[in-house]
Every structure is written in C-alpha cells, then in structure tokens.
Chain A
Amino acid sequence: MNNPFNRPIYFDNNATTACAPEVFEALKPFFCNRYGNPSSIHNFGGFVMPEIEKARWQVAELLGCDNSDPNGRCTEIIFNSCGTESDSTAIRSALKINPSRRKLVVSKIEHPAVLNFAHELAKHGFQVVEVPVDAKGRLDMDFLTDAVDHETALVSVMWANNETGNIYPVEEIAEISHRFGALFHTDAVQAVGKIPMNMKDSKIDMLSLSGHKLHAPKGVGALFVRRGVRFRPFLIGGHQERGRRGGTENVTGIIGLGKAAELAKSYIEIENSEVKALRDYLETEMQKRIPKIRINGDPENRLPNTSLISYEFIEGESILMLLDQYGICASSGSACTTGSLEPSHVLRAMGVPYTAAHGAVRFSLSRYNTRQEIDFLLEVIPEIIAKLRSYSPYWNDK
C-alpha cells in the first residue's frame, strides 16, 4: 500500500463496513462448535435459540422498541438476509393486506431495492407515485401530502439517503400516511446505528435494516414490524421467526447482528460527536485546499458520517482510481464507475449540474477512521484533482 499505514484507508462505510472484532468473536463459536439448528429438539441445537432471542433484543434496543411485553417476548423484529429482502417483504406485505388499495408512494431518491421493485409493480398495474426532491435533496412535502390518498396502500421513504446522507422527516411522513389509512415503511439501512432511534414513541409501521452497514457480517438483515401492524410473510416455509420468515436462521449472522447492534448503541454518541467532527474537518479542509468544489445534500439534516463532494470539471471514476493508488477507498455517484452511462438517479433527481454530477465522490466514515487518515487524504487529493483538471478541456486555471 502506497500510504504510511500500510493498509487500506477505508472511507466507504455506506457501501459496507468492517465486521467489528467483538462481533467476529461473538459469532465464531457458532460455526464449528455450536452449529446446531435452533429448531432441533435436542439441547445441542435448542440451546442456540436463546442466543437468537438475545440478538433480537439487542437489535430492538438499538431501535428503541417497546420492551413492555408482559411475557418478555420481543415480537417486532424479523431476521432475514439483507436490506433488500426487508424492503421487498414490507412492500409486498402492505399490498397483500390491503388488496383494494393499488397505490404506492415513494421518493425519487430511494435505494434501488425500493425503487426498482416499485417500477416492477408499476408494470403489474399498481400506481406508483415518486415524490421529487429539491436541489439539496430535500423532499417536496407538499407533493407528498397531495399524493397520499385513500387509494394508497403504502408510503415508503428512506430514513437517510446512501449517497448524500440526507435525513428525511419520517415521523411527519408516517403521520401523513396514517391520515389516509396507509401504512408507512422506511428503508433505514443507512440510518440505523448512525442516529438515535426511538421506535417506542414512533409512528413508523415497518423499518428495514442491514447488518453489514453497522459492522455485522454481510448476509443478515432485519425488518421491524410494529406490534399490531398486519403482516404477510414473503418467504413461506417453516415456522422460523414465528412463521413470518421461513428458512433456517442465519445463526452466525443473527448473533453477529445482535452484537453489532449492542456496540452501535454504545457508540451512537461517538458517531454524532467524534465521527461527525472528522467529517466536518474533512469538508472544511477540502474546501480550503481545493477550488471549485461543492458539498452536496442538506447541510442541516445529514448523517454524521457522510460527505458527497463534487469536484467540478472532472470525472469521478478517474478520481477514485487515483485515490486507489494510495489505498484510499471511496465511492462515486458518477456514471462510469458502475458501467451505467448516466450519473446516479439521486444526483439527477436533485438536478445537480452535469459539471458537478460526474465528478461527485462520496466519503463515508466510521468510528474506525482517524484524524491521521483524513490528513493523509487531504495531503494527496489536491494534487490528484489538479492533475485531472489539467487534462480536462473544461478546466481553466484562470
């Protein structure tokens, strides 16, 4: 690695995160030693079940769920395989329990897990309304209020956007949805573990989360379904998850997610103080050192770890490839990185000018990042940007 740390410098935590060492230790025994099936009648398998229930509580506590069940049960968390499964399950369920309602309201800046599924439903005769955003990526609340009606089965708006880090007024949207008898679901994959949550006093009906975004392993997710909200399973099979998600439990993943949730709860202050301070430092210094850049998103309502910076007149993939030469990992909303030919749907929905959209780079931090790492980025990036701009026919030094 061409950097003083001799390891990757990871600023791509909205893509995925390192599995926390404590998480890895917690789930390890369940691979080779305690490998029993929690549904088994024998103790060897059966003793795994309490571990799964413990993990369920750990997740419920991170979300601030109601813990007043008289039997001490936690019934609001359904473990599954990923955020996408949670999103799909929530949308399908809402449409199934309300077959007379054929309308779905989503935002234009949803993750493909929601947006592409909504597009698919539109092909099958459902009415799908996409709520637009302004130049800072803020939702048009008037448009949303007008769109929700008695035909609406579900409103689904993400809690925080993966590219800009923008946080959306989910409680307010839940209230609007309920006024018309519609359910409200939020894809909170990017928000869980980064901002405090209190589902006990919330109006949100369903919430999706994913393990690997909060230092648990990949391949595990969960869907919160508020007690009392009617639900139809997506995977039908065995009685696992109280019949709400068939299929043998991903035991190691679930135990890992539980531990990760417990850690996330204890670090949530740090996330909003130290990590936020690092992000703010990165942005302030970047603006000092490099001309003609713009910070995208809503500065008032943003995740503490995310920064989406546009370097005007150059293209994002080139920037990432040069950063990669130093082992610096980041992401881009530019077209070329993914093989698609247009900038991301989020930047387009925001109407970010093409001069800036193609050169957008996302830095997403975690509690494992250090000031030294940011300093190294700040040391090498001005030269990278200057070099690429010197190649660009649109860049003019004067």
Chain B
Amino acid sequence: MWDYTDKVMDHFLHPRNVGEIENPDAIGEVGNISCGDALKLTLKLDEDGRIVDAKFKTFGCASAIASSSALTEIIKGLTLEEAAKITNRDIVEMLGQLPEEKVHCSVMGMEALQAAIANYKGETTVDEEDDHEGRIICHCFGVTDHKIRKVAKENNLHTVEEITNYTKAGGGCGMCIEDIQEILDQLWSDKKETPATDDDFKNLSTVQKILRIQQVLETEVKPMLEKDGGSLEFVDLEGTLVKVRMKGRCSSCPSSGVTLKYVVQDKLRELISPDLTVEGI
C-alpha cells in the first residue's frame, strides 16, 4: 500500500478541474497509454495572458490524478510567464509529499504545463523538442538524454534509481541503466570540472562567498560524510578561513581532523578557491 498523504487522497477522491475546456487557448498533452499515464491539460487565458481556467484529463494512478488536480489549482490566476516557472517540486509541495516512486507523476504535470505554454506560443512542445534534440535512451518509455539531464539538474538527482522515479527511464527492461549512469557521471563530473577561478571568488561579496561555500558543503561534502553517519555545519567565514562544526559521528571521530583537511578543505579549494583554509570549532 502506498503511503499517500491526506492531501494526495483528497485530490484523488475529489479532483479539481476535471474535464476539457471548449475552444481552449492552449493544450498540453504528455504521456501515452503504453507508458501507463497520460495527461491532457487545457487552458483559457484572458487578454493579459493570465490563466483564468485550467482543466485536465488524466489516465493514471491515484498520484497521477492528484498531481494533475494540484497542478490546475496552482496555475489558475498565474500569467504564462509565472506559470513557466512552476516545476514538479511545486506540485509535490502542494500535495505535501509523494512516494519517491511516484514523483514521475508530478514531473508529468510540469511537462503538460510546459507543453501547453509552448502550444500557446506556437512553438513545438518541449517533448517534441526533446525528441529532436536528444537521443532516446530509454526505449520502453521513450525518454531522451536531454530530459534525463534536465530533470537530474533541476532536482539534483545523482543515482539511476532517482532518475527512474522521476522520469521512468530505466524502469522497464533495464537495458539502458548503464547509459543513464554514464549520463549522470558525465553531467556531474562536468559540473566539478568547471570550478570558479580564484579571481572570481575574490571579487564576490561576503554574502556571495558564504553562499558558494555553503552550496559546496551541501552538495559535495555532506553526502560524503553522511555515508559514514557524519555531518557538519558552516559556522563563519573570516577572510579565507572557513569555520565549520563537525556533527553526527564526525564530532566524536578521532580522524575528524584528517577529514577536515583532506575532504572538506580539499573540496573547497578545488571547487572554490585554493586560498581557503578550513578550521573545525
């Protein structure tokens, strides 16, 4: 049994805005029956380009129906520019939470919205663009490398399992799992290979410096420490001296000094600036 939140159940049992708008200003259609879920979104806009009505028709499981319902509630009243910024995370947030394996339902909602916006602007839909630009990686669900990269970046996904939960890619025959891993390896190593130069860092304001340090700590350092049950928090920045506090298992670990020097400091030097020094407090 899935652990659906009350909000998911409410949107599933009493979905808002089911149906199809007659003579819609924009239509977004994604998914297909072989994939197991599909969503048709129709929008009505006023003269200012504001969404005055949104309706959906969805083929899929409870979370697909709930995600579609939540999507229509979120976008009503928004301008197309505002709606363009909506991501699957907004849908998940509105529903409280979705089981990991069901996040792809919220991604489908986001894609339908993007397809509708593209349709309004007379562009080809995002999906079609994907298909033309990208190379199909997962043949079971027709997912391109373009889409895998996009979803991975937007949601900070690092494992094939996460990609499957978000895009379905790799969830069928499994033949493409190695290809997905390759895309992820490439994607995230690309990011690492372009560290900011020393000059860049010096020119930043203190707040920007701190933000950058925190980002590296969150995305690069913490996941490594968490594997051993440890963690750390950023305390202060004095010139080029970064002060951190070790937490979890790291706080009582006799080799935390080594960790600080060779893991935390090296990472910050590599990705931000070679001048940085790290001190534990």
Write the residues of chain A forming the contact surface with B, with a CB cutoff of 8 angstroms: 313-315, 317-318, 321-322, 325, 334-337, 339-343, 354-355, 358, 390-394
Cα separation A314 to B58 with both chains bound (whole Å): 9
- Min Cβ gap B109→A in Å is 14
Interface string of B161-191 (1 = CB under 8 A from A): 0001000100110000000000000000000
A334/B36 in contact, CB under 8 A: yes
- Min Cβ gap B110→A in Å is 17
B61/A318 in contact, CB under 8 A: yes
Q: Which residues of B contact A341 (CB under 8 A)?
A: 36, 140-141, 164, 168, 171-172
The residue from B15, B38, B141 contacting A393, defined by CB atoms under 8 A apart: B38
Extra contacts, 5 of them, besides A343-B36, A394-B33 (Cβ < 8 A), are A315-B64, A318-B12, A318-B65, A336-B61, A339-B99
Interface: B101 (CB within 8 A): yes
Cα separation A391 to B59 with both chains bound (whole Å): 7
Cα separation A355 to B36 with both chains bound (whole Å): 9
- Min Cβ gap A195→B in Å is 31
The residue from B40, B62, B99, B168 contacting A318, defined by CB atoms under 8 A apart: B62
Q: Which residues of A contact B145 (CB under 8 A)?
A: none
Q: Which residues of A contact B33 (CB under 8 A)?
A: 313, 354-355, 358, 394
Write the residues of chain B forming the contact surface with A, with a CB cutoff of 8 angstroms: 12-13, 15, 18, 29, 33-34, 36-40, 57-62, 64-65, 99, 101, 140-141, 164, 168, 171-172
Q: Which residues of B contact A392 (CB under 8 A)?
A: 57-59
- Min Cβ gap B125→A in Å is 15
A-B contact pairs, 21 of them (CB 8 A): A315-B59, A315-B61, A315-B64, A318-B65, A325-B13, A335-B36, A336-B60, A339-B99, A341-B164, A342-B171, A342-B172, A354-B36, A358-B59, A390-B18, A391-B18, A391-B58, A393-B39, A393-B57, A393-B58, A394-B38, A394-B59
Q: Which residues of B contact A355 (CB under 8 A)?
A: 33
Top 4 A-B pairs ranked by shortest CB distance?
A341-B171, A336-B61, A317-B61, A393-B57
A354/B34 in contact, CB under 8 A: yes
Residue of A nearest to B9 (CB): A321
Q: Which residues of B contact A318 (CB under 8 A)?
A: 12, 60-62, 65
Q: Which residues of B contact A317 (CB under 8 A)?
A: 61-62
Q: Which residues of A contact B61 (CB under 8 A)?
A: 315, 317-318, 334, 336-337
- Min Cβ gap B64→A in Å is 7
The residue from A321, A358, A391 contacting B36, defined by CB atoms under 8 A apart: A358
Residue of B nearest to A354 (CB): B34
Among A339, A391, A392: residue with most chain B CB under 10 A: A391
Q: Which residues of B contact A339 (CB under 8 A)?
A: 99, 101
A391/B34 in contact, CB under 8 A: no
B164/A315 in contact, CB under 8 A: no
Among B15, B40, B62, B168: residue with most chain A CB under 10 A: B62
B62/A391 in contact, CB under 8 A: no
Q: Which residues of A contact B141 (CB under 8 A)?
A: 341
Residue of A nearest to B100 (CB): A339
B37/A315 in contact, CB under 8 A: yes
Among A314, A390, A392: residue with most chain B CB under 10 A: A392
Cα separation A228 to B144 with both chains bound (whole Å): 57
Cα separation A86 to B181 with both chains bound (whole Å): 37
Cα separation A249 to B39 with both chains bound (whole Å): 54
Q: Which residues of A contact B34 (CB under 8 A)?
A: 354
Cα separation A341 to B62 with both chains bound (whole Å): 14
Cα separation A285 to B13 with both chains bound (whole Å): 26
Q: Which residues of A contact B171 (CB under 8 A)?
A: 340-342
Among A337, A341, A355: residue with most chain B CB under 10 A: A341
Q: Which residues of B contact A390 (CB under 8 A)?
A: 18
Q: Which residues of B contact A343 (CB under 8 A)?
A: 36
Q: Which residues of A contact B168 (CB under 8 A)?
A: 341
Among B15, B34, B39: residue with most chain A CB under 10 A: B34
Among A315, A322, A358, A393: residue with most chain B CB under 10 A: A393
- Min Cβ gap A380→B in Å is 14
The residue from B57, B101, B172 contacting A391, defined by CB atoms under 8 A apart: B57
Cα separation A315 to B61 with both chains bound (whole Å): 6
B140/A391 in contact, CB under 8 A: no
- Min Cβ gap A37→B in Å is 37
Cα separation A340 to B164 with both chains bound (whole Å): 10
- Min Cβ gap A321→B in Å is 5
Cα separation A274 to B12 with both chains bound (whole Å): 37
Residue of A nearest to B168 (CB): A341
Residue of A nearest to B164 (CB): A341
Cα separation A311 to B82 with both chains bound (whole Å): 39
- Min Cβ gap B98→A in Å is 12
Q: Which residues of A contact B65 (CB under 8 A)?
A: 318, 391
Cα separation A394 to B64 with both chains bound (whole Å): 15
Cα separation A392 to B61 with both chains bound (whole Å): 11
Cα separation A355 to B57 with both chains bound (whole Å): 16
A336/B58 in contact, CB under 8 A: no
- Min Cβ gap B252→A in Å is 38
Cα separation A336 to B172 with both chains bound (whole Å): 12
Q: Which residues of A contact B60 (CB under 8 A)?
A: 315, 318, 336
Q: Which residues of A contact B64 (CB under 8 A)?
A: 315, 336
Q: Which residues of B contact A325 (CB under 8 A)?
A: 13
Cα separation A341 to B34 with both chains bound (whole Å): 10
- Min Cβ gap A147→B in Å is 22
Cα separation A317 to B29 with both chains bound (whole Å): 22
Q: Which residues of B contact A314 (CB under 8 A)?
A: 59
Cα separation A393 to B56 with both chains bound (whole Å): 8
- Min Cβ gap B95→A in Å is 15
Cα separation A303 to B233 with both chains bound (whole Å): 62
Q: Which residues of B contact A393 (CB under 8 A)?
A: 29, 38-40, 57-59
B140/A342 in contact, CB under 8 A: yes
Q: Which residues of B contact A391 (CB under 8 A)?
A: 15, 18, 57-59, 65
Cα separation A394 to B32 with both chains bound (whole Å): 9
- Min Cβ gap B37→A in Å is 7
Residue of A nearest to B18 (CB): A391
